[in-house]
Every structure is written in C-alpha cells, then in structure tokens.
A = this chain, B = another copy of it.
C-alpha cells in the first residue's frame, strides 16, 4: 500500500498549494483591520465615515501607479488663513454625515418653501425694518398671494403706491396697521386711514438667503 497513485480514483486536485490564497492587503481598506466597540447609535455614522475612508484609500492606490506630473500648487491667497489642519487630524476628517441624536430626513427647499407655485412669487428685502423678524436686506421673501392675511402675519402690502413688507396688525378702530420689526426706532408703524390707498398683495410665508 505504498503507492495509491496508480489507483484510479476520481482524482481530486489534492495537496497544499504554497503561494496560493488571497493576498494580503486586498481588503476594503487595503490595510489590516481590528474590531472596536461603539455605541449603537453611532454605528451608521461611523460606517458612513469608514466608507468614505475606504473610497479614499482605493482611489489613492489606483492613482499611485499612474505616472505624470503632479498637481500644480498655488500659494494660498492669504498665508496662514487658519491653522485647522492640525485639529482636523484629531478627529475624522471630512465626516460627511449626520451624527448622534440627529435624525436624518430628506428635505427639498422648494417643497418646503412653496405651497402653491402658481400663486407664489419672491421679493427682495430692501430695508432693515423687519430685522427682528429675521429678514435682512437682500433676503428673498416668499410671498403667496392666495393666502388670506391674518393679524400677526408678515405681509407684502402696497401703501399709497409703495410696496412694503411689514407685520399686519389692527388698530382699535378696526383699520389695519403695519408694524416694523425693529426696535431701534428708525422705523415707525404705518397707520392706515381711509384716505390712504392700501392693498395686501400676499402673505410672506417664508424666506431664504445666501450667505456666501
């Protein structure tokens, strides 16, 4: 029973195969991994981060064997604008996603801001009279002309041929009154009398702005 080779068995490809098998560093991160205990609520956050990290690593490795010239680098416009790179390394750089108790929802600004497209228009805020209502010069006010204005609403009104955005209020005599939202005293309430031309064009249901 020294040699069984000649014994015609359905020959399997037996024996060990040195050098075979999956190669080191062929995982998702191109580096070894370890396990870490994390709070369950943070798991999705961390997974998101790790995905971004993995993507970055893989992108870098594929770029590595391309030859050619490197990036051009310009001097920063302002030297030492801010030295935050040091801190960034302390924590996950470029954390893209929502974190901790912050629930993730999806939001479309257009849907959020506009109820009825056909009756809505925008107006650019000019003065500072509604500053304390959070309307700064340059802000775009969302005006819906189909909505009925109630006391307390911010409205776009025309008074004697002039457009204005103010808070609608009522006088004792029942006539309307337009209140600024600015306690500096620079703006005074507009008291509407019977002789004045007055029309409410719409209700300001929202606003938006760009900072940068």
Contacts and interface: CB of A to CB of B under 8 A. Distances in A.
Interface of A: 29, 31-43, 45-50, 52-54, 56-57, 69-77, 79-100, 102-114, 117, 119-126, 133-136, 139-142, 145, 147, 149-151, 153-154, 156, 158, 161-165, 168, 170, 174-176, 192, 194, 196-201, 203-212
Contact of A134 (B142, B196, B206, B209): B209
A92 B209 contact: no
A210 B126 CA distance: 19
Contact of A35 (B38, B91, B95): B38
Number of copies: 2
B39 A50 contact: yes
Given A113-B109, A199-B87, A163 B82 contact: no
* Residue from A91, A114, A147 whose CB has the most chain B CB atoms within 10 Å: A91
A105 B140 CA distance: 13
Contact of A80 (B102, B111, B209): B111
A76 B36 contact: no
A156 B98 CA distance: 12
Given A34-B40, A109-B113, A121 B85 contact: yes
Contacts of A32: 39-40
A150 B74 CA distance: 17
Given A32-B40, A96-B145, A102-B71, A150 B53 contact: no
14 contacts: A35-B35, A35-B36, A45-B91, A71-B105, A72-B103, A74-B107, A77-B106, A82-B170, A84-B117, A90-B197, A91-B198, A93-B158, A109-B208, A206-B212
